[in-house]
Amino acid sequence: MQKAPSVFDIMARVAEIRQIVNTPSSQVYMMTFDNCEEIAELAKPGQFVLIWPEPESILHILGRPFCIAFSHHSKGQIEIIFKVVGWGTNELAQKKPGDLLKIRGPLGNGWQINSDVTDVLLVAGGTGIAALTGLIDACRQSDNIRTVHIFIGARTADELVLPTKIAKFRHIDLYLATEDGSEGFHGLVTDALKALLYNNPLQEPQIFAAGPRPMLKAVAEIARQNGIPGQVSMESQMACGVGACMGCATAVYDQESPMGWTYGRVCKDGPVFPIGKIVWRWEKMRMKMAKKTNMELFIELVKNITGCTVKYDEASRVVTIEHSSLISEEKILKALHEKSGLMKEDYTLLPDKN
Ligand SMILES: Cc1cc2nc3c(=O)[nH]c(=O)nc-3n(C[C@H](O)[C@H](O)[C@H](O)COP(=O)(O)OP(=O)(O)OC[C@H]3O[C@@H](n4cnc5c(N)ncnc54)[C@H](O)[C@@H]3O)c2cc1C
Ligand code: FES
């Protein structure tokens, strides 16, 4: 018997498009597609679709990834929320009801709720809320979960994405945070999260976060300090979208690999990753090389051995190796001594300029 496909390529029809944020620095749209029965039926919270904004353009080859914000199986519809940042999203914003677009999905892994969780903390920055909406219903179907705390942050009140729609969900605690204090908590959404955790010790919490990388990094630190398990939805630029090209790679910890980390594919291994799995912090190791070294060959060797980003400044003869904070300089040097023939007299270590 043939296995039913789990990813579909379809021509979807734009049913509706409306602008939900319109400020000089942020243009956000919500778009509903018809003809998406298969995707709507299979989509799990946190999964995404690739959308080709303009099939006739030379730039059409790469689909753009967007989270499935809402899926309505009975109507065969899915909805996305997108911010205009470049060519593809600008093209999408010009679409009209009735236009046909190629969509591939559902893609990626989606969120996993731990079985013993009692309090769920959803943290969204900007359009990150699109990754989290599906999780709200999933949380309410769990018998254990007492409260779903939802944090939505933006620079100003006008730039908050979907605050009114989310407020209509029943049995949730909604916290809005704006950097200018024009709505809700005055400050970063991560400070609002810290305030809740400080004032209300929670029994078995779990954090789910989506938004800009600096926000995710801050959430990861809060989760670490409070010993709370969690997951993040990562964003990266994508090419194939199905795990074949490594175009979307992000660094993740991996005890099995020699340097303690490897690359995870956001499209296939993610976009959802355990919060502690992502390499958030990089450090720079700087070595001033003695004159005799054949630098071209040496740099290639260092790249191959460490898998790190390596830069060389010819004028100062300084090699900079960008490595995860969990891997010590000693470990890198040991690998270089053993595998590249590097000797102690070939270099002097310089202090990190960071
Ligand atoms: C799994 C996943 C889900 C996503 N879901 C959403 C969503 O629900 N809503 C939404 O608005 N956006 C989402 N994104 C980001 C979205 O895919 C990009 O904004 C979009 O592809 C940009 O296309 P563009 O042609 O307009 O921009 P381009 O012209 O390709 O690029 C314009 C600028 O945006 C930057 N950029 C492009 N893609 C990304 C990216 N993925 N991450 C960070 N910077 C980028 C580029 O470096 C460049 O500076 C998601 C990304 C991923 C990987
Ligand atoms: S985009 Fe090709 S592997 Fe992820």
pLDDT tens per residue across span 174-201: 999 999 999 999 999 999 999 999 988 8
The mean-pLDDT minimum among 108-122, 142-156, 227-241, 295-309 falls in 295-309
CATH 2.40.30.10 maps onto the chain at: 8-106
From 49, 234, 252, 265, the mutation candidate for ligand 2 (largest count of ligand atoms within 8 A of CB) is 265
Q: What confidence category does residue 124 fall into, taking pLDDT thresholds of 50, 70 and 90?
A: very high
Measured between alpha carbons, how far is 18 from 133 in angstroms, rounded to an integer? 18
Residue 354's pLDDT is 47
| pLDDT at position 71 over 80 | yes
State the ligand closest to the CA atom of 105.
1
**The one-letter amino acid at 277:** K
Measured between alpha carbons, how far is 65 from 127 in angstroms, rounded to an integer? 13
Measured between alpha carbons, how far is 49 from 36 in angstroms, rounded to an integer? 11
Q: What confidence category does residue 57 fall into, taking pLDDT thresholds of 50, 70 and 90?
A: low
CATH 3.40.50.80 maps onto the chain at: 119-233
For residue 265, count other CB atoms closer than 10 A to its CB: 23
CATH 3.30.70.100 maps onto the chain at: 282-350
Query: What residues flank ligand 2, with Cβ below 6 Å?
Result: 238-241, 243-248, 265, 267-268
Residue 38's pLDDT is 94
The string of pLDDT tens digits covering residues 76-101 is: 999 999 999 998 999 999 999 999 99
Whole-number Å distance, alpha carbon 242 to ligand 2 midpoint, is 6
C-beta of 57 in contact with ligand 1 (< 6 A): no
Q: Which helix (H) or strand (E) holds 329?
A: helix 329-340
Place of tokens 């960008």: 322
| pLDDT at position 3 over 70 | no
Q: Which residues contact 126 (CB under 8 A, 6 or more apart)?
A: 26, 28, 83, 153, 154, 159, 161, 211, 212
C-beta of 107 in contact with ligand 1 (< 6 A): no
| pLDDT at position 353 over 70 | no
Average pLDDT on 261-272 reads 90
| pLDDT at position 254 over 60 | yes
CATH superfamily assigned to domain 8-106: Translation factors (2.40.30.10)
| pLDDT at position 112 over 90 | yes
Identify the CATH number of the domain defined by range 119-233: 3.40.50.80
Judge contact between 49 and 66, C-beta under 8 A. Answer: yes
CA distances from 278 to 94, 251, 265, 269, 274 (A): 36, 6, 12, 12, 7
Whole-number Å distance, alpha carbon 162 to ligand 2 midpoint, is 30
Measured between alpha carbons, how far is 21 from 26 in angstroms, rounded to an integer? 7
User: Looking at ligand 1, which residue's alpha carbon is closest to its atom 27?
Assistant: 86
**The one-letter amino acid at 10:** I
Q: Which residues contact 293 (CB under 8 A, 6 or more apart)?
A: 346, 347
State the ligand closest to the CA atom of 235.
1
From 237, 248, 262, the mutation candidate for ligand 2 (largest count of ligand atoms within 8 A of CB) is 248
Q: Which residues contact 76 (CB under 8 A, 6 or more apart)?
A: 34, 35, 36, 37, 40
Residue 240's pLDDT is 81
C-beta of 88 in contact with ligand 1 (< 6 A): yes
E-assigned strands of 91-136? Answer: 100-107, 119-125
- Cα torsion for 87, 90, 96, 98, to the nearest 10°? 40
Tokens standing for residue 3: 């296995």
Judge contact between 70 and 79, C-beta under 8 A. Answer: yes
Average pLDDT on 206-223 reads 94
Judge contact between 179 and 156, C-beta under 8 A. Answer: yes
Q: Indicate the CATH number of 282-350 among 2.60.40.10, 3.50.50.60, 3.30.70.100, 3.40.50.720.
A: 3.30.70.100
| Cα dihedral sign, 198-199-201-204 | negative
Q: Which residues contact 58 (CB under 8 A, 6 or more apart)?
A: none
| pLDDT at position 312 over 50 | yes
Average pLDDT on 230-234 reads 96
